[in-house]
Every structure is written in C-alpha cells, then in structure tokens.
Structure 1
Amino acid sequence: MTAALDVQTDGNRFVLRPKGSWVIAEAAQLDRAVRSSSAPDQQGGKDLLIDVGSVDALDTSGAFLLARVERQWSDAGRKVEWSGADHARTVLLDRVRAVVGEDAEPFRKRSSPNILSAIGDAVLSTVDYAGYLLRIFGALVLQVGYTIRHPSNLRFTSILHQMDSAGVRAMPIVLLLSLIVGGIIAQQGAFQLQYFGASIFAVDLVGILALRELAMIITAIMVAGRSGSAITAELGSMRMREETDALQAMGLDAMSVLVLPRVISLVIVLPLLTFMAAMASIAGAIFTLWLYAGISPTAFIGRFKDAVTLSTLAAGLLKAPFMAIIIAIIACAEGMLVQGSSESLGRHTTASVVKGIFMVIVVDGLFAIFYAAINF
C-alpha cells in the first residue's frame, strides 16, 4: 500500500494517522507531507496523537519522521501520545525517539561558545585525563606486584622484542643526534670563552651539561617521539581490529600482555641509551674542540676527569627510569583510547608524542629543583 498521512482534529487533539509503507523508499514524499501538515504552530494549542495502527511497514526512516514530529510538538510545549503500535514497532520507535530526543539539545548548547566554557572544558578534560593516567599507573603497580609474586607470568619474549624495537633500533638516531649536539655545545662554549682566554673550560661545560642534562633530555625526547608513537600506534591498531577485546575474551589481562612488557623494556633500555648518548656527546665535543679550539684529546680527557665525577653521571642516569615509566604509560594510555577509525589513531598518536615530550621536560625541571634542594 502506498504511504500516506491522514490528518484529523479530534476535539482538543490533533491526530496524525500514518498509513501504508513508511519505509526509506517513500521517505522523500513522506517528509514533504509531514512538514506541510504537522507544524505545531498551525494547530493552535492542541495536543498531538500519533496513531500508527494503520501502518503496514515501518523502518527507521519512517520512525525518524514520526519521532521528529513528536520532538517538534514537545519543544512547543504540547503533549504527545502514541497509539496503535505493536511490541516490535514500540521497540523501534522508542530507540529512534531516544536518538531524536538527544540530538538537538547538545547542538543548542554548542551554538554560543565562550572563552570561560572553553577553559572550563579544558580543565575538566585535563582532570579526567590525569585520573585516567593514575588508574593506568595503579593497575600497573598491581600487575608488578602480582608479577613479583608469580615471576613465571612475566613475558620475557615480549620484553626482549620491545627492547629491540624501542632501544636497539633507536640507537643510531639517538647517538647521531647526541654526537652533533655535543659538538655544537662545545663549539659555542669555546667560541664564547675564548674572549676570556678560558677555552679549556668548554670541557667543563660540555662534560657537566652532557652527563647531567643533555644526554638524558635528548634520549627521552627521541624515545618519546619514536618509540612512544610506535607503542601508541601498535596498541591503537589492536584496538581498531578488536584484538584487545579478543585478549579479554581469551581470559588474558591486557595490562600483563600489552602494557607491562613495554614499560619494563623502556625502563631497561632508556638508562643504557642515556649512557651511550652521553658518551656520544663527549666524543662530538672532543672532535670539535680539537679542530676548533686546538684542545687535544689528551688535554680534553685530563680536564674532563677533573671537572666531572661519578655523581655527575648518576644525576642524569637516575632520571632515566622515571622518564621511561612516564613515556610508556602515556603511550599505552593513548593507544588504549583509540576508537575504530584511522582519524582517531592519528589523533592519539600525535597526542602521545606531544604529551610525552611535555611531561619529560616537566619532570626534568622537577628533578633540577630537587637536585638543587639536596645539593646533588
């Protein structure tokens, strides 16, 4: 039967009686009929009754048209009643009405944004994200405690694979960058100190800076950008393919299988990378000062031994495990937030890098304050 819409007035009520097949094939015709005959401002102060007892077929498009009429009359302050629907159509109409009833109000709220609401939303979002990271950290601590009690559950193969991916394969770029930056710092230091006849003190500058700060910050930033993004992309891809759900269905804990091996691997490799980055920076400084300032490698090493101690190296290495935990937690947390789209994967991968680098710099500043307070 062809779709139709009968309109009647029954006392103090306006009655809509849809008939025939209210399906998507008739949607354009029905939309015009509904718009032309069911506007609430054309019916005075009457309430609305929608009688679907004469409908032969109803799908979501037809249900949407009727639910939209209900929404219009409800917004106008009119009472709306339904009749004639069997159980199946009642379920369909209820679901569509719920969607139509929710979609207008959020858009109205967003229609007039202001700076205060934007700041408030940002603050609330930051607090929620901080709570999310704390939950991840708490779950990680519990998993570490469980693993200590049951070491056989530790996945050594996964840890070794992540060490290779996050550490061994990151060595070339970390060492090359440290070598170059160490040479630049040495050249700039010697250039400025030569005016005071103190070019030799460029060795002190490079030695202390490389061991305490430079090697650590370069390594952490490179790992956050390279390995952190890789972790987020891996976990995000697993989320998109529903592999994490499959792990849970198999009775496996994602924290044990996915997060803990990545955290442990970074905690192991980041101090090693930091030490090698420090040595690369010193090597770059030796070569640069030999060519630029005429300071021989022998003189450099002699001055270097007087300028730095093991505590200087320890000041940088002690920060590495903390940086590793922060980078790994942020990377894993962002990966677990990925939804089922490539746009979501790209957004969270970018967020992982930005947040990881930001927190590395913040924590490095906190360590600097702490070291100064204890005179270390």
Structure 2
Amino acid sequence: MMQPANLQEDPRDDGTVVHLSGNLAVAHLGDLPEQLDAISRPVARIDMAQVDHIDTIGAWTVHRFAARHKAEIVGASEDATRLISEVGRDDEPMAIRPDPTPPLQRVLGEIGAATRMAGNTMVGLLGFFGATLVASWTLIKHPRRLRMNAVVQRLEVVGVSALAIIGLMSFLIGIVIAQQGSVQLRQFGLEVMTINLVGRLTFRELGVLMTAIMVAGRSGSAFAAQLGTMKLTEEIDAMRTIGVSPMEALVMPRVIAAIIMMPLLGFYASIVAIIGGGFLCAVALDIPPVTFVQRLREVVPITDLYVGMIKAPVFGLIIAICGCFQGMQVKANAEEVGNRTTAAVVQAIFLVIVLDAFFAVFFTWVGWI
C-alpha cells in the first residue's frame, strides 16, 4: 500500500534540500501544500527519489513550490519529470485581452485575408468547373448514367416553381421602367420612345439579368443548402463508398436543369416585363396596345433577343456551379451550411453581373448594338 505524501527538510550550506516521498496524488496529498508553503528558508533542491506516484495536482504543487524558490528538481522518475514539465509549460501568464493592433495594420491584414480567400475560392471554383466538364464528358460517352428523374425534378424546382415570383417581379419591373422612362422623356415630348426603352432594355439586359439574380437567390441557395446538409450528414461520403459519383448523381442534374431553364425563364420574364410596360403605356400615356406592339416590332431588333438567349444558359451554368461548389465545401458544423449558402448566392450574383458586363462589351464589339 502506498504511503501518503510526506516531506523532510535537510538544511545544508548551499540551501535546504526538501525530500518528498510517498503518494503525491490528490487523494493522498493531505496537508503537504500547507507544509511546503510554510517553508521560508531558501531551498536549493527538491529530491523526489522516494515518490511512489504523482498526478497532475501533485505535479502542479511541486512545480509551484520549485518555481517560488527557484529550486532544482532531482531524482524524479521519467513520468514524473514529463508531467511536471507539461504542467510548467501551461503555467504562463495569459492576456485577458489581446494587445490592440494598429489600425493600418489591421486594415491591411483584413484586405490580405480577403484577397487570399477570394483567390482560393476562385481557384477552387475553376477546379470544380473542370470536374463538371469531366463529368459532362463522361455522361456524353455513357448517356445511360444520366439520371433523368433527378433532372426532371430539378427542372420543376428551378423553373416551374419560380414562374409566379419571376412573373410578378418582371411585371413590376416593366411598369417601373416605363414610368421612370416616360417621366424623363416627357421633357422632350418623346413619350413614345418609352416603348423603345422598355423593349430593348428588357430583351437585352434586365429580363435575363433579373431572372438570373432571382434564380441565384432561390435555386442557387437551395443547391448549396441541400448539398451542404448531405455533406454534413456524410451522405456524399457514403455515395463515394458505394461507387456512386456525387458529380454525376448530384451536381450534373442541377447544372443541366439550370442551363435548360434559364433561357426559358429569361424569355418568359422579358415577355412579362413587356406586358407590364405596355400596361403602363396604355394607362398613363394613352398608347393603345396595338400601337405598342407595332412600335415594339419596329424598334427592337431580333439580335436583342439573341443576346439575352445567349447569356441565359451561361448565367444558369454559373449559378448552378456556385451553388454546388459551396455546398460541397461544407465542413464541421451546421453553421457552415448557412455561411456557404450565403456565399453561394453572393458569389453567383457577383459573377453574373461581371459576366453581363463582359457580354455587353463583347456584343458591342461584334456590332450587336
């Protein structure tokens, strides 16, 4: 049976030697800490050769005593030495509040961190786009592997379920464009040019662009949340384990659905916006619907429709890839799902607007003005 903790003092010329013995576990320390605190003479060494056992509390007691007297610990076993060393390593002063960072350094640090994060995200997005192309080529070579049921379901989610909200938004946007345009053009007596403004703006830019923003907020976020939840519950890892490619089973149906539905939704939104603009022209400007349609056919070239329909599938591809990429990046906890969903929407809208600017410059350069 182990003896309780005990100490003996051995006064010497170079300082007192404290001999510890017995069991230095918390249950057997007894009044050893009080006895050590009562020693006021200089202590040169602490001899632990007779110590049978020591735990974290005992190691902390010995370390604190040795640190106070700046004494050397001798005779300790290998385990005791390692435990006292680990306890001593944690015995460091800790600042309650970090030292204030200079404002310029903090701003530069935040800019650098944001730049690094943006760079890593773009590299990851390009890699995910490459993986999507590889999966597309695989499905082209092996059409039987395409999951048509999943594609049809995503077509309904992305397109059919969004008709109401996109239609309402487009109708109101058409009214706003016509109303604001007529107010400005009335100064020059050119209220009839409101038809030009509504027709060209909706077919060429706003119809597809606003639809892309709505789809990014509605379907892009849904893609990220769905895949993120599956990643969090390890369903995607289980699919890989049984030999099912997540890119083919989860990502490609969503990408295909977004590419197919975006031109249809963009055209639908443009038509509804035209109807909204025609409604305001009939009510506020006394322009009959027949005159509105006739003027529209004269002033809106077919290239405006082509421009919108060319941009639409590219926007759909970007939205689907951003949503799926952010969903596949979810790790650790449920909060990450919300963060990645938000990132998917912001990233998709940003890239859509950037690409729309590039398209505007490109089509102007080729003469589709």
| TM-score range normalised by the length of the shorter chain | 0.7 to 0.9
TM-score for the superposition, normalised by structure 1 = 0.78
Percent of pairs with identical residues: 34
Q: Tell me the distance in 2 between the aligned counterparts of 1:18 and 1:133.
A: 60
Partners of 1:270 and 1:109 lie apart in 2 by 52
For residue 193 of structure 2, what is the aligned residue in structure 1? 201
168, 182, 189: which is aligned to 2:174? 182
* Secondary structure in structure 2 of the residue aligned to 1:38: helix
Aligned AA (1:71): R
One-letter code aligned to 1:238: M
Residue among 286, 295, 308 paired with 1:294: 286
Unmatched runs of 5 consecutive residues or more in structure 2: 3-24, 37-42
Q: Relative to 1, partners in 2 of residues 1:292 and 1:42: Cα closer, same or farther, differing over 3 Å?
A: same
Give the root-mean-square deviation of aligned CA atoms: 3.4
User: What CA distance in whole angstroms lies between the structure 1 residues aligned with 2:293 and 2:75?
Assistant: 93
Q: Partner of 2:266 in structure 1?
A: 274
Q: Distance in 2 between matches of 1:344 and 1:307?
A: 50
1:319 is paired with a residue of what secondary structure?
helix
Question: Does 1:349 find its partner at 2:341?
Answer: yes
Distance (whole Å) between structure 1 residues aligned to residue 63 and residue 52 of structure 2: 12
Correspondence 1:61-80 to 2 at 5 A: 68-69=86-87, 71-72=89-90
Change (3 A) 1:137 1:44: same
1:143 corresponds to which of 121, 135, 153: 135
- 2:280 corresponds to which letter in structure 1? T
Q: Structure 1 pair 47/144, CA: closer, same or farther in 2 (3 Å)?
A: farther
Corresponding residue number in structure 2 for 1:91: none
**Size of the alignment, in residue pairs?**
329
Conservation of the 8 A alpha-carbon contact between 2:44 and 2:71: no
* 2:17 aligned partner: none
Return the alpha-carbon distance in structure 2 between the equivalents of residues 49 and 360 of structure 1.
72
What residue number does 1:304 align with?
A: 296
Partner SS state of residue 161, structure 1: helix
Deviations 1:179-230 (A, max 9, x none): 1100110111112212211111100000000000010111000000000111
Q: Give the distance between the partners of 1:128 and 1:321, measured in 2 at CA.
A: 26
Task: Select 2:220's aligned residue among 224, 228, 248.
Answer: 228
Kept after mapping to 2: 8 A contact 1:14/1:46: no
Superposed counterparts of 1:42-61, under 5 Å: 42=68, 44=70, 51=77
Structure having the higher Rg? 2
TM-score normalized by the length of structure 2:
0.79
What amino acid maps onto 1:175 in structure 2?
G
1:115 to 2:107 alignment: yes
The farther-off stretch of 4-13 and 319-328 is 4-13
Q: What stretches of structure 1 of length at least 5 have no aligned partner?
A: 56-62, 77-103
